[in-house]
Amino acid sequence: MTPTLNYIKREWAFFLEINDSPEIAPSLLWETGKAVLRGKIISYSTHKKKKTTNRKRT
């Protein structure tokens, strides 16, 4: 598995561990999870791009 996929799987598992409870409707959990993952993916991509750009400069 790629490092990116491993990161996403870890973050999703962590999100579910913290937020999955009987009081929360599955649809709300799903919508919230998508938003959280979207943010994590953007953050990861930005970090990776900056790392690659810095490597090219040196």
- The structural domains of the chain, with segments of one domain joined by +, span 3-56
21 pLDDT more than 90? yes
Mean pLDDT across 4-19? 95
| CA distances from residue 34 to 3, 7, 15, 49 in whole angstroms, order as listed | 20, 15, 10, 22
Evaluate whether 36 touches 10 at the Cβ level (below 8 Å): no
Q: Residue 54: what pLDDT? A: 84
User: Which residues are CB-neighbours of 44 under 8 A, at least 6 positions away?
Assistant: 4, 7, 8
Tokens linked to 35? 């938003």
pTM over 0.85: no
The pLDDT, as a whole number, for residue 19 is: 96
Q: How far is CA 36 from CA 11, 26, 41, 54, 55, in A?
A: 9, 15, 9, 27, 29
